[in-house]
Amino acid sequence: MEKRGRGAPAPSNLAPQQPSGGPRKERRPSMFEKEAYAQILRERLRESFHDVQYVEPPFDDSIADIGKEWKSALAKLRFANSYRMEPLKKFQAYAVEAKVQQLLKESLKDVKYDDKAFSHLSLELADRILIVVKEFGYYRYKFIIKVLFIQKAGQAINVASRWIWDVAWDSWVAAKHETETYVALALVFALYCE
């Protein structure tokens, strides 16, 4: 066995063999070379596409006036991530409560208790309440609406709901309409989605 020193050449039988006469691969440019870095950026930009737009919605009191025209224009756009962690317009429970209370009063003023009719009426009322709440234009809020009809028969009732939510931005509203034979309770939960 032969010992080699630090400066001794490697034996010829251990040297890596180069393919002779074959096609050579193009060397990829390094990002540390000045001219090559610009070329790499151009290639990456050419490969990517930028068809995403972000439109900041107009959030003031005139949103109800713009309404459906603005929503139909938004349906055609794709949004980029805004990285927004808080709403542009916070959910205002007092305004929503007044509107839902008015809707309940108008819808149920001449209705008598009928358990078969109320199963359909509760769904219809929930849809109408959702439409009314969406007209306020709370951006990035999701709404959950529960409508309960309770017959008055001398009983007590407790209604409880549990949610995991952000105390700063999420909220809820309860509106009640009472007659001689029943109580109608509408619950609106507004959950902000980041």
Assign residue 176 the CATH number of its domain: 3.30.1140.40
Report residue 173 CA to chain centroid gap.
21
Please report whether residue 10 resides in a domain.
no
The confidence score (pLDDT) of residue 40 equals 73
Distance CA(192)–CA(120), nearest Å, equals 29
Low-confidence ranges of the chain (pLDDT < 70): 1-22, 29, 31, 34, 45-79
Give residue 124's domain range. Answer: 93-153+166-192
Average pLDDT score, the chain: 78
Task: Say if 143 falls within a structural domain.
Answer: yes
In a domain, 139, yes or no: yes
Rounded to the nearest 10 degrees, the angle between the axes of helix 93-107 and helix 115-134 is: 140
Q: Letter for the amino acid at 23?
A: P
d(CA 136, CA 92): 9
Q: Please tell me the total count of domains within the chain.
A: 1
Phi, psi for 121 (deg, rounded to 5): -65, -35
| 33, part of any domain | no
Q: Is residue 173 part of a domain?
A: yes
Closest CA to 56 of 42, 41, 74: 74
Which pLDDT tens digit goes with each residue over 18-55?
Answer: 555 567 777 776 767 767 777 777 777 666 555 555 55
